[in-house]
Amino acid sequence: MSSRVRTRFAPSPTGDLHVGGARTALFNWLFSRSEGGDFVLRIEDTDFDRSADKHTQQILKAMDWLGMDWDEGPQVGGPHEPYYQSKRIDRYNEVVDELRDRGVVYRCYCTREELQQQRERQMARREPTRYNGRCRNLSEEEIKEFEEEGREFTYRYRIPEEPVVVKDIAKGDVSFPPDQVGDFIIVKSNGTPSYNFAVVVDDHDMQISHVIRGDDHLSNTPRQLYIYNELGWEPPGWCHLSMILGDDGERLSKRHGATDVYEYRDAGFLPEAMLNGLALLGWSPPDGVEVKTVDELIESFDLSRVNKSASRFDHDKLNHLNGKHLRALPAVEIKERLEDFMPESMIETDRKNIEEIIEVFRDQLEFLTDFAPLYERFFSTPFEIEEEALQWLESKDEYVEVVRVFRQKVAESGNFDLKAVKDIISATAEEVPTSGKELYLPMRIAITGCEQGPEYHELMPVLGKKRCLKRIDAALDALD
């Protein structure tokens, strides 16, 4: 094992990158970056029936969107190529031959039906479900009989009759007696390596120093540790992350909402907000401050602060984090992020003033997808006044008078910047006998068409004098 911190993320391309997988990738990435180490991306694609290149490409695209760059792996290469398990079969066979020479693996001819019956009997007796060793000591006659039947076989590792202890950073020391493990498959009947065997060879060859993954893999770890011990290889440090639960306390799944990471991108989330939210799933920052930039996450990340208990995926919290990160960006950067979310109805004049429009809507933005409906609502043509707002304007003659005077002051103005607009509002206030809401709300409705929304005085310079006059005239026509 390397003295340098080297972590890895090794997804199976049987589906897109989901929240749980992204959280695992992030913790590996943060730890390697915080320690000045290396982050390796490896594709575990030996499940030939379910693996697909389209899933691999989607995983790479999602990782790229999140900004989790890798030092070795697909697209970037590295000294431990190849980084696809499907291209490492010869290496696995080489290690299998070594184990066979040691006499610690044997052929197992048990069929799937026989193994299922065995599991059912063990479950009925409330025993650990493990292989019962039926083929462990077959005679030459029994092997010949199975061969003549044309039975397929797997290779199983013959575990020693001694316990193994997994020293886990998050869980502490966890002991596994051999009767809870059983002889396990290292090569499947189709000749491909099992997960528990291939991952050991890969992690050893790629000098992985720490394996950080979900605690659903904790039960796999003793099998892997047996292989490490057998071959005299130093095992990595282990850290098994608690599971992620949905709002109902059940394991996070599709029914709890979007779980594929790229769906969040399409919903208008920022990658740095997504990383911030994922980091809080099973880890707590030492300073208690939850809203953090990516650099701050790297600086403060510490594996010793990984939680032992399950974490709950809080959509409201993630939404809040996204709004915080989005509103903290300068307008020019928000404009760049909005490239794929720009409303098709936007006129060229407004495109040139996009940064000014962003500033008007800044406080109302929680997602990148919020911008288009806000633009269409407050910049739409033709201009319309909401029914409730119109009824309120009609309720008193004084409100109509405010709009008339407001229209006059707008028409008389020369400049139409923010200062000029504030002067228009002040001049209107001096000529009408109202104040407070009864002064400002009629002007707001005349400009925005509704009783709530962005600050109308900030909206007016962006709309321009001509459009403001048209809107006020439309309001007066509706009142008449």
Write the pLDDT tens digit of every residue in 101-119: 999 999 999 999 999 998 9
Cα distance between residue 115 and residue 118, in whole Å: 5
CB 65 within 8 A of CB 274: no
Sequential DSSP letters for 302-324: -GGGB-SS-EE--HHHHHHHHHH
The answer as to whether 117 is a domain residue is yes
Tell me, rounded to whole angstroms, the distance of Cα 324 from its chain centroid. Answer: 17
Q: Can you give the residue range of the structural domain that contains 459?
A: 381-479
Residue 71 reports pLDDT greater than 80 = yes
The answer as to whether 320 is a domain residue is no
Predicted confidence band at 258 (pLDDT cuts at 50, 70, 90)?
A: low
Residue 308 reports pLDDT greater than 90 = no
Q: What is the pLDDT of residue 397?
A: 87
CB 456 within 8 A of CB 443: yes
Q: What is the pLDDT of residue 105?
A: 96
Domain-ending residue, one of 206, 241, 276: 241
Give the tokens for residue 142.
């029994």
How do residues 344-388 score in pLDDT, each as one tens digit?
888 888 889 999 999 999 999 999 999 999 999 898 778 888 999
Query: Domains in the chain: how many in total?
Result: 2
Cα distance between residue 303 and residue 324, in whole Å: 26
223: closest CA among 303, 283, 164? 164
Active site residue 470: no
Q: Which CATH number characterizes residue 401's domain?
A: 1.10.10.350
The answer as to whether 407 is a domain residue is yes
Domain-ending residue, one of 210, 241, 272: 241
Lowest mean pLDDT among 31-35, 109-113, 235-239: 109-113
Residue 465 reports pLDDT greater than 80 = yes
The answer as to whether 294 is a domain residue is no
Whether residue 382 has a cis bond before it, omega within 30° of 0: yes
Helices (H), 213-314: 221-231, 261-266, 271-279, 294-300
Q: What are the C-alpha distances in Å from 126 to residues 110, 119, 241, 258?
A: 22, 10, 28, 37
Domain-ending residue, one of 241, 275, 303: 241
Q: What is the pLDDT of residue 382?
A: 82
CB 63 within 8 A of CB 43: no
Overall size of the chain counted in residues:
480
Out of 87, 167, 254, 419, pick the active-site residue. Answer: 254
Burial of 254 (0-12, 13-18, 19+ CB in 10 A): exposed
DSSP β-ladder status, 164-168 and 172-176: antiparallel
**Is the pLDDT higher at 8 or at 378?**
8
Lowest mean pLDDT among 9-18, 124-133, 396-405: 124-133
Which DSSP symbol is given to 379?
S
Coil, strand or helix at 239: strand
Q: Which CATH number characterizes residue 156's domain?
A: 3.40.50.620
Predicted confidence band at 254 (pLDDT cuts at 50, 70, 90)?
A: low
Residue with tokens 């992204």: 22
Tell me, rounded to whole angstroms, the distance of Cα 247 from its chain centroid. Answer: 17
Q: What mean pLDDT do residues 275-298 have?
A: 95
CB 235 within 8 A of CB 1: yes
The answer as to whether 268 is a domain residue is no
Give the tokens for residue 48.
């030939």
Long-range contacts (CB closer than 8 Å, 24 or more residues apart) made by 54-63: 55/13, 55/14, 55/15, 55/16, 56/13, 58/16, 58/17, 58/262, 59/11, 59/13, 59/16, 59/17, 61/262, 62/16, 62/17, 62/22, 62/260, 62/261, 62/262, 62/265, 63/9, 63/17, 63/25
The answer as to whether 110 is a domain residue is yes
The answer as to whether 361 is a domain residue is no
The answer as to whether 357 is a domain residue is no
Q: Which residues are within 8 A (CB) of 153 and not within 5 positions of it... i.e. 6 or more apart?
A: 107, 108, 109, 146, 189
How do residues 334-349 score in pLDDT, each as one tens digit?
999 999 999 888 888 8
CB 284 within 8 A of CB 308: no
Cα distance between residue 88 and residue 381, in whole Å: 61
CB 277 within 8 A of CB 26: no
